[in-house]
Structure 1
Amino acid sequence: MAQGAISKRSVDALEATGKTHYLWDNNPIGFGVRVTPAGVKSYIFQFRMGGRGSPVRREIIGRTEKIAPDKARSRAHELAHMARTGTDPIEKKKADRRAYVETKLTATELAFDAYCQRYLDERVKPEGLASYGNIEMVVRLHAIPILKATPLPDIAKKDVVAVLDRIPASSFALKRSVFAILSRMMNWAVGRGDIVTNPMAGMARPPAATSRDRVLDDAELAIIWKATGKLRHPLRAFYRVLMLTGQRREEVAGMNWAELDRPNALWVLPAHRTKNGVAHIVPLAPAVLNELDLLSLVLQERHQVSEPNQVHWPKLGPVMSFHGDVSLSCFSQAKKFLDVEVEVERDLTGGPPIQKWRVHDLRRTMATGFQRLGVRFEVTEAALNHVGGSKSGVAGIYQRYDWRDEKRAAFEKWALHILALI
């Protein structure tokens, strides 16, 4: 076993002998150079953990052509100190490697922006949860810009608070929606073992908005209806279907051609697309069919379909879509477009200013209008797909009548009422 001071000259002088041999230095003891039968030279450190009776262990420091002797010696001293203080250099190297890999995985797979998409793909979409588009929009517009690629395990309460604080104080519903979506996603991550605890545990849910009672009068309805006629499709159809059917914004925006039955004038909303998880049948008044016919003709013209003057509803795909591939989701921008046209129309009619209103007010306005038109309360609830009142409790369990004919009559009355205002 050769011994001697390890230097560049002594290392360069080592030659292959056809078998493995070593040059050992004693500064520190265990520092050496190994030469393989092929002539490959590497700095090594040899040590024992636990005294003379313990097995000999060797840690490779690196190839001699890549590390200078002084740096290799310095590293050997570090390893010798670790061994003397009870830390196994080899096991520490393995632990450091595991920690590095875990950190790298955390930074990629558990990065918040990437994890949001994973949650949508693996939890929301496969289980057919309602409002996929709304959930995607909420995290994209309000959570990801703040949390970005922060690893999920590093997210704390203060980070979630930062997301909520960026939302205007007046947007009660949006704050509650963001809070609920993030909390559900964090609970899902806990259930999968991706994080230990939900960082939102113990956080108070944002307060609900005060109940609204805004109902549009007939003059306002007339102005809004005329204003929608100046919007391009699908915005025109979107707002007019909202006005004529009183269904929820996300339900109309997510309408699919596969849900529509034109011969029977029906819109069949599957349970996974409704807010309450109850399937819903919406009879379509002729005015609604007319709006959807016009929209389908626009789509045919855009895609240069033959026989452009004949109505052919697609068999599937989003109805309220600019390009036929993605459902409408730009609700705020669309409302701004409509508000501009409403103000122009109001100026033309010379009427008083229209007070601030929301899309959901159209739903409340239709319900109120039904009562004015003499529609039974049970039919109004059925038309709105409410589970409450006459459909709650024991009655809700045993009363399975769907009021389809009565709903059709009510929707047609309402459509005629709106058209009569024009």
Structure 2
Amino acid sequence: MAKPLTVKAVDAAKHGTNKDGEAIRVEYPDGGLPGLYLVVQPSGSKSWAIRYRAGGKPRKMTIGPYPVFGLAAAREAAGKALRAVSEGRDPGHEKKLTKAAQANDLTRIEAVLDDFVSRHVEVKNRPSSIKENKRLIEVEIKPKWKGRQMETITRREIITLLDEIADRGAPIIANRVHALLRKFFNWAIERDVIQASPVANVKAPAAEVARDRVLSHDEIRLVWLAADKVDWPFGPLVKLLLLTGQRRDEVASASWDEFTLDGPAPLWVIPKERAKNNQAHSVPLSKSAVEILQALPRIKGAESFILTTTGKSPVSGFSRAKDGIDAAMLAIARQEAAERGEDPEKVNLPEWRLHDLRRTAASGMAALGQPVHVVEAVLNHRSGTIKGVAAVYNRHDYLEEKRRALAAWASKVAEIVTGELSGAVVRLDTAKKRS
């Protein structure tokens, strides 16, 4: 009968040798727990295993390596396994099933999506893109295929999902989901999670037409007057969007440490971490923009955000705020119509978006004779008139040119708002809503 193994004996155990002097595998039975063996490989590595019978057949199950499993730990694990055998179970088979289930958990789509978010989305994207991609994953993708293995998602299912989103009246969202899924499955291929992408050769479900909406002078005036009537901080936000021509999220998430308001050359520097093209962007500030910024209240305890209602995060809720601006614009336009003796109920306003303010500012500067490359510099565009070799060697930031362009535009907006252009009244009663 084998003697009980000791810690000293386990440490001293060596592989065996055959008649030719070659190292061979050896098993040392533990008399302290029959069925438990210390296995020493020809390389000298050691591990624990148990031998037992299940279903009338001999079985073997590896417990784990030594010294990760010491003698006491190996006996404890072996004891649990052998108790399972006494209950008529097969611990080796159960272990295989558990490992397979764990492997399956790792390749379920929701687990891989979570990994994709932490390793790619949160690392490669801007804060606004991170937020939107997370929303699309949680709202559009996970509920559709939760619990499914990655390799079971088919091309037909991708197409069906995109069609369903587009058919409910959200073709642009369908396009965004298409782009996100394509990136996700390609990332999964790179991580060796799957071998092929079901999004391959699947086209975006909707053709996107670039918007060309530019607000008229009448609409600019109404937007400005409406901004004076809506609750803070959305009124100042809209005015700054119009005056600076910058992106909504860049303005909404701006912090006080990005601004230099004192001195002869006020400046706003958007750090590269928040700029869309990952390059820091200098925005000269007109007198009107400075006055708006200086009038903003500073929320106690705020983490330096210029536009915040909580003091802990930048302003949000843009859709509802835009509805408030629209309502105020319509009220002003109808009041003016009534004062002219016209039927205010016949006054309607064309549809517009906050991003149209950026396009309006760009078009306005161009109309004032500002060079195209200067307007593009104001917008922080890098793919416009200066391309190729010229883009490599032209590192001039056009700061003074941008300052002149934005100052001219601010003056134009002031003229529009005060009605000093032509004295014409606003007549929007024949305007049709845009889809």
2:321 aligned residue (334, 355, 365)? 334
Note closer, same or farther for the CA distance 1:219–1:193 as it changes in structure 2 (3 Å cut).
same
Aligned counterparts of 1:168 and 1:401: Cα–Cα separation in 2: 44
Aligned counterparts of 1:270 and 1:241: Cα–Cα separation in 2: 18
Residue aligning to 1:31: none
TM-score (norm 1): 0.68
AA partner of residue 402 (structure 1)? D
1:132-186 Cα distance to aligned partner (Å, 9 max, x none): 3333344344444544565544443344445433435564443322222232233
Q: Once the 2 structures are TM-superposed, how far is the Cα of residue 240 of structure 1 from its aligned partner?
A: 1.7
1:371 aligned residue (362, 366, 369)? 366
Question: What are the ranges of 5 or more consecutive residues in structure 1 without an aligned counterpart?
Answer: 1-18, 22-41, 50-58, 76-88, 304-313
Aligned counterparts of 1:294 and 1:210: Cα–Cα separation in 2: 39
Q: Retained in 2: the 8 A contact 1:214–1:361?
A: yes
Residue aligning to 2:154: 156
Residue aligning to 2:332: 345
AA partner of residue 156 (structure 1)? T
Is residue 412 from structure 1 mapped to residue 407 from structure 2 by the alignment?
yes
TM-score (norm 2): 0.66
Is residue 223 from structure 1 mapped to residue 222 from structure 2 by the alignment?
yes
Aligned counterparts of 2:288 and 2:224: Cα–Cα separation in 1: 12
Q: Retained in 2: the 8 A contact 1:43–1:62?
A: no
Q: Once the 2 structures are TM-superposed, how far is the Cα of residue 118 of structure 1 from its aligned partner?
A: 4.0
Determine helix, strand or coil for the equivalent of 2:313: coil
Question: What are the ranges of 5 or more consecutive residues in structure 2 without an aligned counterpart?
Answer: 1-31, 35-51, 60-80, 338-343, 418-435
AA partner of residue 335 (structure 2)? L
Aligned counterparts of 1:328 and 1:373: Cα–Cα separation in 2: 32
Note closer, same or farther for the CA distance 1:20–1:323 as it changes in structure 2 (3 Å cut).
closer
1:126 aligned residue (106, 123, 137)? 123
Is residue 398 from structure 1 mapped to residue 379 from structure 2 by the alignment?
no
* Alignment map for 1:133-282 (pairs within 5 Å): 133-147=131-145, 150=148, 152-168=150-166, 171-263=170-262, 265-282=266-283
Determine helix, strand or coil for the equivalent of 2:312: coil
Aligned counterparts of 1:145 and 1:318: Cα–Cα separation in 2: 35
Aligned counterparts of 2:115 and 2:294: Cα–Cα separation in 1: 37
AA partner of residue 288 (structure 1)? A
Aligned counterparts of 1:396 and 1:255: Cα–Cα separation in 2: 28
Computed over aligned residues only, the root mean square deviation of the Cα atoms, in angstroms, reads: 3.5
Q: Once the 2 structures are TM-superposed, how far is the Cα of residue 373 of structure 1 from its aligned partner?
A: 1.7
Aligned counterparts of 1:147 and 1:338: Cα–Cα separation in 2: 39
Residue aligning to 1:47: 57
Aligned counterparts of 1:281 and 1:396: Cα–Cα separation in 2: 18
Q: Once the 2 structures are TM-superposed, how far is the Cα of residue 223 of structure 1 from its aligned partner?
A: 0.5
1:322 aligned residue (309, 316, 335)? 309
Q: Give the number of equivalent residue pairs.
A: 338
Q: Once the 2 structures are TM-superposed, how far is the Cα of residue 328 of structure 1 from its aligned partner?
A: 4.0
Q: Retained in 2: the 8 A contact 1:133–1:329?
A: no
Residue aligning to 2:12: none
Note closer, same or farther for the CA distance 1:93–1:119 as it changes in structure 2 (3 Å cut).
closer
Mean CA deviation greater in 347-356 or 375-384: 347-356
Is residue 299 from structure 1 mapped to residue 299 from structure 2 by the alignment?
yes
1:47-87 Cα distance to aligned partner (Å, 9 max, x none): 248xxxxxxxxx958477xx6xxxx5xx7xxxxxxxxxxxx
AA partner of residue 369 (structure 2)? G
Note closer, same or farther for the CA distance 1:329–1:246 as it changes in structure 2 (3 Å cut).
same
